[in-house]
A and B are shown apart, each in its own frame.
Chain A
Amino acid sequence: MSEEATISKVWESIPVGDDLGTLDYVLTAQMVADYRRVVDNPHAAYPTVAARHPANLFYRKYAAVMRVPNMGHDSEYHNPPVAGKRITISGRIADKYIRRGNTYLIVEATAVDEDGRLIEKSRLVGLAREVGMQAAHANIAKKWGT
C-alpha cells in the first residue's frame, strides 16, 4: 500500500498550530492520593501529569473524528502541583508528520496553577487514527506479536 493511500483526510485537515483552547480543574487531595496509590509511589510529585493533559485537550475538540494513541511523551517539569489549587491547561497542535506510512500528531499542553506557577509542559506523540478507520496501531500490534 502506498504511503499516500493511508493518509486520512481528517489528519490532513488539522493544521499545525491549531489552538486546542483551555481547560481547568481543581486538583483535589483525593486525586493526589488516588494517583499515588495506583502507581505505588506515596510521594509521586506530579499526580495528574504523568497524565493526559494533551490528550484531554485534543479529544475535547477531535474525539468524534480522530484518535491519538500515545506512542511517546516529552515533558518538562517546573513546579509540582499543590492539592486544592485550580490548574489551567492550554494546548495546541505542535507538529504533524508521516513516518513509515503512519500519520502522527504532536499535541502540546502547558499547565499553570491559579497562582500563576508553571507546573509542566508536555508533548504527546500521537499515532493518528481517523475514527471508523482501521486502527493504525493494529499494524504495530502485528509487529509486536500481540
Chain B
Amino acid sequence: MMATQLKVGDRLQAVTHEVTEDKMVEFEKVVWDRGRNSHSDINVAKADGIQRTIASGQNQMAFLHEMMERNFGDAWVYGGKISARYIHPVYAGDHLTANGLVTEVAVVDGKPRVTLQIWCETQDGRKTSAGTASAGQPADARSWIDGGKQAAA
C-alpha cells in the first residue's frame, strides 16, 4: 500500500511525550556528557539566572524528529530538513506534543517536496518551539530500521 500523499492543510500524526526530571538528566549524559549544566542541575540553572532546570532544546528536537520519522519514513531520514527555534522553556512534568501542518507541496529539482510548519506545545497549548521542516512525499520504507522490508506503520 502506498503511503498517503500529503496536501496543503494536512496535519501530521502528532507525537506526545512526558518530560521528566530523570529523563532530562539522563538526556544530558547520553547525548554528550559535558558535566553539570542548566538542563540537569538546579544550581547551574540558578547561576544562569533561571529558577528551574529546563529541558534541552535538543530534547524538543528529538520529539520533532520522531514525528517526522513516523509520518515520512525514508523521505525524512534521507534528505529531510528542519529549522526550529526554542521560544519557551520546557520543564519536568510537561507533556510535550510535536505537531506539523503542511503549508506547501512543490516540485523541487524534479521531485515533490512537502514543506511544513512544525512546533512543540505543552499540555496547556503553550508553544515551546516553532519552525519549518521539509521532506519528500511520505514513503512506506523504513530502511534505517530493517533495510527497507518494513512497510509504514
Contact = CB atoms under 8 A, between A and B. Distances in A.
Interface of A: 31, 34-35, 37-41, 43-46, 48, 50-52, 55-56, 59, 69-80, 125, 134-135, 137-139, 141-142, 144, 146
Given A75-B81, A78-B79, A144-B89, A50 B48 contact: no
Given A52-B31, A59-B34, A137-B48, A45 B144 contact: yes
A125 B61 CA distance: 13
Contact of A138 (B32, B50, B59): B50
Interface of B: 17, 23, 26-27, 30-32, 34, 38, 47-52, 54, 56-59, 61-63, 65-66, 69, 76-86, 88-89, 131, 142, 144-145
B57 A70 contact: yes
A73 to B, nearest CB: 6
B69 A71 contact: no
Nearest to A43: B145
Contact of B31 (A45, A50, A78): A50
| Chain A, interface SS category | mixed
A38 B57 contact: no
A75 to B, nearest CB: 5
Contacts, number: 122
A111 B143 CA distance: 20
Given A38-B27, A78-B78, A141-B50, A52 B58 contact: yes
A75 B48 contact: no
A70 B48 contact: no
Given A50-B58, A141-B89, 4 more contacts: A52-B31, A75-B81, A76-B82, A142-B49
Given A38-B23, A38-B26, A50-B65, A73 B58 contact: yes
